Structure 1
Amino acid sequence: MQLVILGGGESGTGAALLAKQKGIEVFVSDIGIIKGDYKHLLKTYAIPFEEGHHTIEKIKRADKVVKSPGIPDEAAIIQQLHACRIPIIDEITFAAPYAKGSIIAITGSNGKSTTAHLIYHLLHTAGYHVALAGNMGYSFAKCLTKGSYDYYVLELSSFQLESVKNFKPNIACLLNITPDHLNRYNYSIETYAKAKLNILRNMTPLDHFIYNKADPIIAAYLQPENILPKLHPIDPCSIWNNDGLCQCNVHGTSFSIGREQIALPGRHNAYNAMVAITAAALAGVAPRTISAALPKFHGLSHRLEWCGAPQGINCYNDSKSTNVASTRAALLSFNQPIIWIAGGVDKGNDYSLLLPILQERVKAIICLGKDNRTIIKAFGLIELPIQETDNLDKAIHMALSIASPREIILLSPACASFDLFKNFEDRGNQFKKKINKLTQQ
C-alpha cells in the first residue's frame, strides 16, 4: 500500500513514523516548511518528504491519504483528492487499529489538558502502564511507535474528531461545548458540536460516557436515548454537599471526596477533577489511591498557574485561556479584586458574557494587544478603569500600580496570542519570567 501524509507536523510525522514501523510505503507532503525536529525524524527514518508545495501527481498515486487535523476539508488539495475518489482519513483513524490497550478520550472546549493530565496522574499513581497523547505532547500515532500500554489517555480536539471513522474509546469524556474555532465550521455551533459528539460514533453498551449534564449546548445536540454507552452525567453546579463532600458511586462502589483534596483553584477545576475521578474509578483505580493522589496534582502551566506575589500581589498565568468561556471560569475562581490583563487576536468573541463578572470582581482592565478596539468597545460602558498597551512589561507595571496587597493580577487573555507572541506558551512564559524577576527584587 502507498500512503501519503498531508502535513509534516506532530500529527503527520507521527503517522509517518507509525506507517514506516508497520512496513507501509509512505510519503509526506507539506505545503509549508516542516519544522527542524520533525524534518530530522523523517530523515533519520528514511521517510521521503516534500515541503513548500504539494506535488499533486505524486499524491494522486496514493492508495490512501492521511490528513493532518489542521487541514480543513475545504482546502484545495483535499477537494482535488475527493474528485479523484482517493480515500482520505485522519491520523486518529489511521492509528486506532494499532492500539491494543484501552482508550480514555477527553474532549471539550475548555479543560481538556488539565483533565487528561489528572486522569493520567491517577492511573499512573495506581501503577497502570499508561500513556498520555493526542492534542498535546506526542500524537496518538507517534505514541504507538513507542510501545504498548494498558491505557491510552487522549486529549482530542474537534479538528481531530470531526472525521474519525473506526476510532472507539472505552471511556469518553465530554467536558463542555462553548463557541470556539467557529471559523472552521462556517460559524455554525451545531457543526462544531457534532464534531465533538463524534467521539461517541463507535461506542458500545460496554463503554462509558462521562459528560456535562448542565451544558446547554450539549443538551441541545445530545440525544441520550440514542447513545449506546453507559451514561455518567456530572453537574458542575452541584458537586459538593453541605459538608463540602462529593459522593461518588462508580461500579457500585461508593466513596467521598473532600473539597480540600483538590489542589486546583476554581469551580471549573472541581468539575474537571470529578470527571477525572469518575474516569479513573471506571478504569479500576481504587478509591484510596484516588484520595491519596488527588492532592499531589497541582495543575499545568498556563492554566491558572500561580507565578509569584510581587508587592504582596498574587499573580496568575492563565495564558491558555484563549476564549471567553475559559476566561470566565478563571475570573470566577477568585473572591479578591482582580486586575485583569486581556487581549490579543480577537476570535469573534462575545464579551458581553463577562460583563456581570467584571462589574462584581474586576478592579481594572489592562488591554494587551496590537489592536484593542474590540475589547475597549465591549467594556467601555461600564465604570472600570481601562488602560492599553502592546508591551507586556508595561502591562505588568500598569497592573502593579493599580493593585493593592492580597489582590490578584490575572493574565487570562480570552484571545489568541499571535499578534505579540509566538503562541500562548510564549506569552505565559514571558509573563512568568517577568513576575518571577519582580518577586525576587
Structure 2
Amino acid sequence: MKEVSRIAILGGGESGVGAAILAKNKGYEVFVSDKGEIKEKYKSVLKNIGVEFEEGEHTESKIFNATTVVKSPGIPDTVAMILQLKEKGIEVISEIEFAGRYTKAKFIGITGSNGKTTTTLLTYHMLKKAGLNVGLAGNVGESLAKQVAEYDKDIYVLELSSFQLDGMYDFKVDIAILLNITPDHLDRYEYKFENYVNSKFRILQNQDEQCHFIYCKDDEAIQGYLSQNKVKAIQHPFSIKTITEKGAYIENEKLIININNIFEMTIQSLALQGKHNLYNSMASGMTGRVLELKKEVIRESLTDFQNVEHRLEFVAKIHGIDFINDSKATNINSTWYALESFQNPIIWVVGGVDKGNDYEMLKEMVGEKVKAIVCLGKDNTKIHEAFAGVIDTIVDAGSAYEAVKLAYGLGKSGDTVLLSPACASFDLFENYEDRGQQFKSAVKGL
C-alpha cells in the first residue's frame, strides 16, 4: 500500500468526517471540503481533531495537491472536478475503500435496489445476538472509517449502495449479498440499465474461492449477469419459486436453508411479513448459516427483529384508516413491494424528484389496489399522465400536512393511507427521513 501524505475529503457528512478522523489518526495532512453546509456536530468534530475544512465552495488548489481524494458517494463521477482529478492521476476513492486499508476485519456486504437497509439491520441484529464483536456501517450506522479509527471490530455488516461500490477497488467483501437489481439511479448511469447492473456486481470484485456469494435466483438481471460471467466465490442462491442447492427456498409454508445442515422455520413466525421480506429474511438467515451461528440464534433473530423507521412503518389508525410511512421507498420497485403488501383499499401518497421512473410496471398493481392518488411534489405531471386512465381521483399537495389532510378526506374506515413516494425527496424535503417525520407529524396532528 502506497503512503499518502495529503488527503482531500469531498463532503463533510458522516462518511467524510469519519474518513477525516481515520486519516488524522494515521498521521496524514487532511483537508475537508463541502460545496454545501457542514452540520454543526460535524464541524465541532473537525475542529476538535484539528482538521482544516471549508464549506460552500471547493478550493481547487487545496484539493488538487492531494495524493488521494476520498469522495462522498453523493458526488457523481461525471462532475468536472472528479474527471480532472482522475486525469491528473490523483486517486479518487470512497470512504469504505479508504477504511478497508486499515482493518483486518471480515466484511459482510449487502447491496440491491431494495431491501438493503432491512437486510443489513437484520443481519447485524443476528450477529450481535450471537455475541460477535460486530460493527454496522455503510449507508447505515456510524462511518466505517470512524469505527476503524476508534474501536475496530472483528466483523462488519455493510449496506453498500452502487455509488459506494463505484468508489471501491481493492476492498474485499468476504460474504457478498445481492438482493435484487431493478432500474434505479439511472441518471447516474447514462440511463443504461447494464451500467447499473455492472455497478452492483462490483461487490464481487476481489472475492476468491474462500468467499461466499448469496443472491436471489428469482431476479432476472442477476441471472442474466451470472449466465455470462464467472464467479469465484461459493454461490448460495435463494428463491421463493424453486428448490435450491446450497441455498434457501420455501416449501410447505416453511423457510428452509440448506447450508451447513438443514435449517427450517415456518414463514408465519418471521418478524418480517410480505413476499419481499421473505427474501430479506432468507438472505440474513443464510449469512448466519455460512458463519455457522447456532440455529436457535438465527431462529430468534428472524422472529424478534424490529424493522427500520420509514420502511412500511405503521404510524396510527384514525377513524378506522391506517396510516403507513414508507418514505424510504425512493424507487418504483420499492413502491411495488409496498403496494403488494396491503389487502385494504389504498390512498397512495406518491411523488418527489423523479429519477427516470417508468411507472408502467406499477399500473396493474395500482389498478388493483389503489382508490385515490395524492401527489406530493413540485412537479407531478408525469404521475398524472401515467395514471390518468387508471385512477379517477388524482390530487396534488405541496406539503406533507396538505397530503395527509387530502388523503384523510378521501379515506373511510378500512382504508390504508400509504406514503410510498417512488421518488427522491429533495424538492420539498431535506431527505427521506425528513419527509417521513413530517408525514408522521401531520398524521398525529389530525
Counterpart position of 1:334: 342
Task: Give the superposition deviation at 1:223.
Answer: 4.4
Q: Deviations over 1:176-220 (max 9, x none)?
A: 111111111111111111111001000011110011112112222
1: CA distance, partners of 2:100 / 2:9: 16
TM-score by length of 2: 0.93
1:264 equivalent in alignment to 2:272:
yes
1: CA distance, partners of 2:93 / 2:406: 49
Counterpart position of 2:219: 215
User: Closer, same or farther in 2 for the Cα pair 1:427/1:87, shift >3 Å?
Assistant: closer
- Residue of structure 2 aligned with 1:98, choices 102, 124, 143: 102
1:29-428 mapped onto 2 (5 Å cutoff): 29-223=33-227, 226-237=230-241, 241=250, 243-251=252-260, 253-428=261-436
User: Closer, same or farther in 2 for the Cα pair 1:400/1:56, shift >3 Å?
Assistant: closer
Q: Identity rate of aligned residues, in percent?
A: 48
Q: Deviations over 1:391-426 (max 9, x none)?
A: 333322332233332321111111122222221111
Task: Give the superposition deviation at 1:236.
Answer: 4.0
| Consecutive unaligned residues in structure 1, runs of 5 or more | none
How big is the alpha-carbon RMSD for the aligned residues of Structure 1 and Structure 2?
Answer: 1.8
Aligned length: 437
Task: Give the superposition deviation at 1:269.
Answer: 0.9
Task: Give the superposition deviation at 1:157.
Answer: 0.6
- Residue of structure 2 aligned with 1:18, choices 16, 22, 25: 22
Of 277-286 and 214-223, deviating more is 214-223
2: CA distance, partners of 1:296 / 1:94: 35
Letter in 2 for 1:273: S
| Consecutive unaligned residues in structure 2, runs of 5 or more | 243-247
- Specify the SS of the correspondent of 1:217: helix
Of 119-128 and 230-239, deviating more is 230-239
Task: Give the superposition deviation at 1:242.
Answer: 5.4
Instruction: Indicate conservation of the 8 Å contact 1:15/1:94, yes or no.
Output: yes
Instruction: Indicate conservation of the 8 Å contact 1:262/1:295, yes or no.
Output: yes
Letter in 1 for 2:438: Q
2: CA distance, partners of 1:56 / 1:370: 34
Letter in 1 for 2:283: V
Task: Give the superposition deviation at 1:76.
Answer: 2.0
Task: Give the superposition deviation at 1:224.
Answer: 7.0
